[in-house]
Structure 1
Amino acid sequence: MARVEVVQGDITREDVDAIVNAANSSLRGGGGVDGAIHRAAGPRLKEAGAALAPCPPGEAVATPAFDLDPPVRHVIHTVGPVWKGGTRDEASLLASCYRRSVEVADSLGARSVAFPAISTGIYGYPPDQAARIAVDTVRSVPTRVELIRLVAFDRVTYDLLTAALD
């Protein structure tokens, strides 16, 4: 079972084998975490993502990390659900994002992976519910990944993830 930890910071600066991108289905970049990862990885990330698109909600695919600093070797792109009030299978789609991303990390041989808070920005997923799903899912997925780091951009998200972990 992977060790799960919560930190606050910039996911593009994490010292891990792979980082997860909260992407849109085009995999060409966007705002928030997606935009930050694309800026840090450089323009080849957009080209590599476009070649794999479209990616449906709940799925995950990987590209090289390009210009991200080592040891980051991979970017795992996952498309979270847009919140529609919780009546459109959003919880299972969000859990699938975390589960599929860990499975992709396993297939790449990654021993450490960092996740952002998927779907809690522009996609509107309630952060407290998303934190519980994130923690419960990464704890329950069988994996050879040794470290799963949940990276909060702000203090509120950090506190929610920490509470869910406890």
Structure 2
Amino acid sequence: MPRLSAVHADITTLEVDAIVNAANTAMRGGGGVDGAIHAAGGPAILEDCIARFPNGLATGNAGWTTAGDLPARWVIHTVGPNRRAGEDDRSLLVSCYRRSLEVADELGAKEVAFPLVGAGIYGWSKEDSIGAALESVRANPPSVEHMILVGYDAETHRQIEAALAAAA
């Protein structure tokens, strides 16, 4: 089982093997974390998304691209279920974390940083997203050595830390 930790940071600044992007099905950039990753990483990420995912990516799935100008080696893109659009199957949220870790294993990534997938404009609670991350890593322990859950703001960071402490 990987070491789990929380960090209060901008995910685009982390020097890790891979960062996870909460993408949309089109895989052409968007808002929130997706927009920040594409903006900071530069056009190489979008070019790789177009080449690797010409038809987009299904909800609950994950795939990787270059990290472009980011300090990470790779970006692992995952498409969370949009609860506000009626996609309320929690197993798809768990699948985002599981599939992202599987892709990280395929890449040989040892340290992976995750945002709280689905907890932004897609309407999942932070608690649901943190719980899905923990459930996924327990059910399917990856080869990844360190899984980082990133809280962009101080309150989210505190919530992640509290959940990790309660799960220990």
* Fold match (TM-score > 0.5): yes
What are the superposed Cα offsets for residues 70-96 of structure 1, whole Å, 9 maximum, x if unpaired? Answer: xx111000000111598841x100000
Hey, what does 1:116 align to over in structure 2?
115
Q: Give the match for residue 136 of structure 1.
A: 135
Q: Deviations over 1:140-165 (max 9, x none)?
A: 32221111000111122212212221
2:74 match = 74
Task: Determine the structure 1 residue equivalent to 2:47.
Answer: 47
Residues paired across the two proteins, number:
163
Q: TM-score, normalised by structure 1?
A: 0.92
Alignment RMSD, CA only?
A: 1.7
Q: What residue is the counterpart of 1:10 in the other structure? A: 10
SS of 2:83's partner is coil
Moved more, 133-142 or 143-152: 133-142
How far apart in 2 are the matches of 1:133 and 1:158?
A: 16
Distance 2:84 2:140 in 1: 26
The sequence identity of aligned pairs, in percent, is 52
Change (3 A) 1:58 1:33: same
Q: Could you tell me which runs of 5 or more consecutive residues in structure 2 were left unpaired when the two chains were aligned.
A: none
Is contact 2:82–2:88 with CA below 8 Å preserved after alignment? no
Structure 1: 4+ residue segments shifted above 3 A: 84-88
